Amino acid sequence: MIDQIRALEDLKCLAGARQAETAVAFDLSQRQEQADAGVPVAGQGAGTAAQIALARRESPAKGSRLLGLAKALTGMPHTFTAFRGGLLNEWRATLIVKETICLTPGDRAGVDEELAADTGALDGAGDKAIIAAVRAAAYRRDPASVAKRAARAVSERCVSLRPAPDTMTYLTALLPVAQGVAAYAALTKEAGTARAAGDDRSRGQVMADTLVERLTGTPGGISGVQIQLVMTDRSLLHADAEPARLPGYGTIPAAWAREIALTGAGDKDLALWVRRLYTAPGSGELVAMDSTARLFPAGLKRFLQVRDNTCRTPYCDAPIRHHDHITSWHHGGPTSADNGQGLCEACNHTKETPGWTAVTTPGPRHTVATTTPTGHTYNSTAPPLPGSPMRQGHAHGKQSGHSQERRLALARATP
């Protein structure tokens, strides 16, 4: 059994290496086709990574990293051979490429030669040991690459949000060290001042509260139309346990959703709007709305936001940035919920490249079929709303006597 596990591991590496080779060849063929079709050089290669991502069941961002890895590996023959032979897995090959990405192709080839991963030189080395070996070789060849890496790292500064247990969340900022230290010092100072003045909150609590207050400009942090809670009427009004959905976070327990909705309801600075969203029984699909305008009106945008939740491209979890006409306005596509979809910026861009088409297909829940330049079709079905069945066509447990079920979207905002 152990021999079998090892053999399968080798096979995974070989398959990964074959995927990388094929990705590079596919990129070349797409560029050639685009060149033949008269696409200018700067536009060639568009949509290639997105097609690789769909085929590999990964997000477009991951697809683009995988293609980048594959291309870099062609210039690192020893690393590529080690990957193919199972001496390095896909992740470790990625680490080697990542640590040498700021080098010139010549220096990168030099590092590849020096490490000679295909001779088993990195055998038994873990992720950290591999990173250390690659960095040492890279710095020796190009000491300035440290500075280049720092400049590149600064360009990757960002803020992200991910769920933590017990309805908590991690708000994380990746910052240049001076800014990060300054921000932390400001919070520490505030905590010291508050505690000296008799505040009985802990240091950590004051720092967290101060962070939220300074970022949002409001004590408690609820300002602007920023919370769009989606829950069933049963959960809001009848203490039902059906979880709610908080966009940008995910699923939250019903009791906690009720608390967000109702806390501060008596506060005159905060308004609570309840929008009724009607869904079809069984499929849980939101009931459509129409408009004759070319641009999606605010109500319809909100509708798409609630229905789609994140970008509709399969495996892409990015937030919605564009409200897209599935069949374009120029080709007679109406401005309607049926012909609309939420897409992130990158996916909207990809959809506009030649050879990509999309249509709405009939089904119990809203479905978009996207066809890529190679003729492959991928379906995207709108996610289930709170209280809806996960799988299409499977009716909700208890039959509702009403023809339509209600969902409520709650918005908390300053007037």
Scanning 78-86, 180-188, 287-295, 309-317 for contacts with Zn ion by CB under 5 A, the matching segment is 309-317
| By the rule CB under 5 A, 313 interacts with Zn ion | yes
Among 49, 347, 368, 382, binds Zn ion (CB under 5 A): 347
Region at 400 (left for phi over 0; alpha for psi -120 to 50; beta for the rest): beta
Residue 342 or 387: which CB sits closer to Zn ion? Answer: 342
Q: Are the C-beta atoms of 304 and 294 separated by less than 8 Å?
A: no
Angle (nearest 5°) at CA 414 between 412 and 415: 110
Strands 377-381 and 158-164: unpaired
Measured on CA atoms in the order 97, 98, 104, 108, is the torsion positive or negative? negative
Q: How many CB atoms lie within 10 A of CB 59?
A: 22
Residue 93 or 311: which CB sits closer to Zn ion? Answer: 311
Give least dist CB 370 to Zn ion, A: 11
Strand order in the sheet with 227-232: 250-252, 244-246, 227-232, 405-413, 271-279
Tokens of 263: 């806390």
Give least dist CB 317 to Zn ion, A: 8
Scanning 161-169, 247-255, 347-355, 404-412 for contacts with Zn ion by CB under 5 A, the matching segment is 347-355
Enumerate the H helices of 335-405 as residue ranges: 345-351
Scanning 79-87, 97-105, 261-269, 307-315 for contacts with Zn ion by CB under 5 A, the matching segment is 307-315
| By the rule CB under 5 A, 115 interacts with Zn ion | no
> Cα dihedral angle (254, 257, 262, 267), rounded to 10 degrees?
170
Task: Give the Cα separation of 211 and 217 in Å (integer).
Answer: 10
Scanning 26-34, 126-134, 265-273, 339-347 for contacts with Zn ion by CB under 5 A, the matching segment is 339-347
| By the rule CB under 5 A, 53 interacts with Zn ion | no
Site string for Zn ion, 259-298 (x = CB under 5 A): ----------------------------------------
Angle (nearest 5°) at CA 145 between 141 and 151: 175
Give least dist CB 350 to Zn ion, A: 8
> Cα dihedral angle (78, 84, 89, 92), rounded to 10 degrees?
20
Q: Which of 369, 373, 349, 372 is nearest to 361 (CA)?
A: 369
Scanning 172-180, 270-278, 300-308, 315-323 for contacts with Zn ion by CB under 5 A, the matching segment is 315-323
Give least dist CB 304 to Zn ion, A: 14
Site string for Zn ion, 130-169 (x = CB under 5 A): ----------------------------------------
| By the rule CB under 5 A, 413 interacts with Zn ion | no
Site string for Zn ion, 176-195 (x = CB under 5 A): --------------------
Give least dist CB 286 to Zn ion, A: 20
Burial of 299 (0-12, 13-18, 19+ CB in 10 A): exposed
| Beta strand extents in 261-332 (DSSP E only) | 271-279, 290-291, 322-325
| By the rule CB under 5 A, 311 interacts with Zn ion | yes
Scanning 3-11, 125-133, 311-319, 389-397 for contacts with Zn ion by CB under 5 A, the matching segment is 311-319
Residue 313 or 360: which CB sits closer to Zn ion? Answer: 313
| By the rule CB under 5 A, 54 interacts with Zn ion | no
| By the rule CB under 5 A, 326 interacts with Zn ion | no
Interface ranges with Zn ion (CB under 5 A): 311, 313, 316, 318, 344, 347
